[in-house]
Structure 1
Amino acid sequence: MIIGRIRRPAGIRIQGGRDPMAGPMHISVADLAGGAAAVPLFGPDGEVHDPLLIVDLESAAPPTVERAARQARSSDRLLVGLAKGEAHPELVRALDLTVAGPVGGAGRGTVAVADPQERVGLLYEAAERNPQATLVLRDVLRTTEGMPVPAALDVESYAYSTLLGGAEFARWLGTRGPRTLPPEAADPVLLVRDAGHLRITLNRPERRNAYGRQLRDALADALRLAVLDEEIGQVVLDGTGPAFCSGGDLAEFGTTPDLTTAHLVRTRAGAGRLIHQLRHRMEVHVHGSCVGAGAELPAFAGRIVARPDASFRLPEISMGLIPGAGGTVSIPRRIGRWRTLYIALSGGPLDAHAALAWGLIDEMAP
């Protein structure tokens, strides 16, 4: 299918080429202000081209910065700022993420790293591998930023169901190959009640407390108990074994009978809404690997205490998906949409020290 030829606006200077092997395409603030990011997203082959652009954040006159910010807010592409010094706050807020050197990164829209050039290259590669998931995540984070939590969870789930039917997830499923469904567990979740205190413990250590169907249902039942019983003044959630929660059980991915059922299960049978309802009464204690749902669900709670060995990771983009247990809603409300995007697109772990500095957790304790 031919979409049409790509024509860049007259006078726009674009560094780099259309070949992904040439690396990320850089544009200046002036380029952005002049419409460089507004070039059509689809190439003549009908495929997404240049899903991510790097904006070199050199100094510019205020009118140029204002025009660039307007263009950034309306762009269809993911725009990552590359800051060598102080960047204009309005433009940083309008971009999807800004990467800076070790002395930068003070604001929520910025991530400070040792080698910014190397890091934006990795983000670019992730976007090129899965452009559909990347752009859907970017749109969901922007769309739900100011929405009520229940409505935002619906938007996340609609987007997730869309990607379940996409080519990128199908490719990941093919690479993963067939898996045997996990066996049933006698007690996937343990409950201990002491007067007004309820402790809920994820109890599938042999599967690193993966958020599979049986554990999810048992956790949701326990949370509903706390929602209905107002005499329960404090709820503590933790997990047994070496990891708090390793995310969705990979053996169950792609097994829901249809996409509509998958949406209703995620939003009406999942734990995210319930933890949000209980947030003023709820504390989560995490340790070890907190992957996918293991990072997304705790972020709904009013307080998170992490052991020093805790690390947080959102790997869904590499699977052609976005976080689907509420992470596009819960995590941005703690650390902002910019750093949420960074964790998801980089796919790498965030250690407990960084999580504390960013506000993803509230306390680090043995």
Structure 2
Amino acid sequence: MSATTAISIADLAAGAADADLLDASARPSRPLQVVDLDLSPAPTAADMERAVRRARDGSRLLVGRTNRPASDCPGELLTALDLTLVRATRDGLCATDADGLPATVAVTDPAAEAEFLRARAEEQPQAALVLHQILGMSGELPVAQALDLESLAYSTLLGGAGFAQWLAARGPRPAPPSATGDPVVVRREHDVLRITLNRPERRNAHSAELRDALVAAADVAVWDQTVRQVVLDGNGPCFSSGGDLDEFGTAADLATAHLIRTRAGAALRLHALGSRLTVEIHGTCVGAGVELPAFAARVLAAPDTTVRLPELAMGLIPGAGGTVGIPRRIGRWRTLYLVLDGRAVSAERALAWGLVDRIKE
């Protein structure tokens, strides 16, 4: 069967997506299978039951596509699939998503978008499949354990062929310069603590230096309950451009990198602040620049905000808490879409999904 051929619900029920995942060289074969929910014949009740079971238990990514509205699709199957692409109505992408189910994403051409996602998974099959595994497991875990799971998977992929190829293509880079001032500015006014990322010349890239300063600032509020409100924002053209790429691949060893991410990272601290935390984002927010805000009780976005998760192209998955905080806001299906698609999402769409809570005027 061609990798580009979509299967029907009846095909899925019959096991069409269950062929061996690994080829003779242990390389993933057809990591993503497209399921056309509109293909004839219409599935029987028994077919639907088997299709749902196979979708839940399968090793491949299964992306549905349909020209029908989500309300006309079998809900149990939508939940079991990793993602379903539906055709946007005349009201546009955001309105369709806001009215639809979190297991669906509205697009103008579901068939073309499904093929784009399939090709993206083919380019980095190891990362795509690990993402599939992590999103399937982390929702059942407490946040701290889910962050541990994400980090273990991230360290695994740092040792993988996909990341090695990306790193080699990027070539050697000098270490990023140290901050000339405070990488994070902290101000307290009465019971409000404002934390501002302050490396505008690096677009507030989430370097080790900035991470440590952010953790130290957040710890003040974690331990001091007289701080009633914490506001996190960023100076410069954007809230944060994500991880500092000049530091990628520089960890002494992958086990140490895992312990640093989980025991010295910012995600768990921000989660611990709970209802006290508001994050104000603006500009191009990439990687950690959207992963960390997702842990806040309130995310306020400027109208120019866009969010993007670029890690798949690097042979990685989100590693700053993105597979934990984002699914708890928008569901595992749309989180998968953000990573597989890799392109920027507008503030309006992020609002329709629930990734941000309000767009500031």
Shorter-chain TM range is over 0.9
Could you give the per-residue CA deviations for residues 190-226 of structure 1, whole angstroms, max 9, x where no partner exists?
Answer: 0110111000000000000000010000000000010
Residue 37 (structure 2) aligned to one of 21, 35, 57: 57
> Does 2:63 align with 1:80?
yes
> Does 2:100 align with 1:120?
no
Query: 1:203, 1:209 within 8 Å by CA — same for their partners in 2?
Result: yes
Q: After TM superposition, what 4+ stretches of structure 1 lie above 4 angstroms from structure 2? A: none
1:270 Cα deviation (Å)? 0.7
In structure 1, C-alpha distance between the alignment counterparts of 2:51 and 2:182, rounded to whole Å: 55
Alignment of 1:75-224 (within 5 A): 75-85=58-68, 86-103=72-89, 105=97, 106-185=100-179, 186-224=181-219
Residue 304 (structure 1) aligned to one of 299, 302, 311: 299
Q: Which amino acid aligns with 2:82?
A: D
> The residue matched to 1:27 in structure 2 has which SS?
coil
User: What 5-or-longer segments of structure 2 have no aligned partner?
Assistant: 90-95
1:73 Cα deviation (Å)? 0.5
Alignment of 1:2-21 (within 5 A): 14=1, 17-18=2-3
Q: Which amino acid aligns with 1:265?
A: I
In structure 2, C-alpha distance between the alignment counterparts of 1:29 and 1:126, rounded to whole Å: 23
In structure 2, C-alpha distance between the alignment counterparts of 1:80 and 1:238, rounded to whole Å: 36
Q: Pick 1 or 2: higher relative contact order, CA cutoff 8 A, min separation 6.
A: 2
In structure 1, C-alpha distance between the alignment counterparts of 2:139 and 2:306, rounded to whole Å: 25
Residue 27 (structure 2) aligned to one of 47, 51, 66: 47
Could you give the per-residue CA deviations for residues 120-178 of structure 1, whole angstroms, max 9, x where no partner exists?
Answer: 11101110000000000011000111210000000000000000000000000001111
RMSD of equivalent CA atoms:
1.0
Could you give the per-residue CA deviations for residues 88-147 of structure 1, whole angstroms, max 9, x where no partner exists?
Answer: 100000000001111365110000111111111110111000000000001100011121
Residue 237 (structure 1) aligned to one of 232, 237, 240: 232
In structure 2, C-alpha distance between the alignment counterparts of 1:39 and 1:112, rounded to whole Å: 29
1:81 Cα deviation (Å)? 0.3
Question: What TM-score, normalized by structure 1, do the two folds share?
Answer: 0.93
> The residue matched to 1:47 in structure 2 has which SS?
coil
In structure 2, C-alpha distance between the alignment counterparts of 1:360 and 1:146, rounded to whole Å: 20
In structure 1, C-alpha distance between the alignment counterparts of 2:275 and 2:360, rounded to whole Å: 21
In structure 2, C-alpha distance between the alignment counterparts of 1:67 and 1:114, rounded to whole Å: 30
Alignment of 1:344-355 (within 5 A): 344-355=339-350
In structure 2, C-alpha distance between the alignment counterparts of 1:268 and 1:212, rounded to whole Å: 16
* Aligned equivalent of 1:10: none
Query: 1:123, 1:345 within 8 Å by CA — same for their partners in 2?
Result: yes
In structure 1, C-alpha distance between the alignment counterparts of 2:346 and 2:197, rounded to whole Å: 22
- How many positions carry a matched residue from both structures? 346
* Aligned equivalent of 1:270: 265
In structure 1, C-alpha distance between the alignment counterparts of 2:142 and 2:12, rounded to whole Å: 32
> The residue matched to 1:39 in structure 2 has which SS?
coil
> The residue matched to 1:278 in structure 2 has which SS?
helix
Question: What TM-score, normalized by structure 2, do the two folds share?
Answer: 0.94
Query: 1:25, 1:50 within 8 Å by CA — same for their partners in 2?
Result: no
1:180 Cα deviation (Å)? 1.0
* Aligned equivalent of 2:92: none
In structure 2, C-alpha distance between the alignment counterparts of 1:46 and 1:94, rounded to whole Å: 27
Q: Which amino acid aligns with 2:126?
A: Q
Q: Which amino acid aligns with 1:137?
A: L
Alignment of 1:322-361 (within 5 A): 322-361=317-356
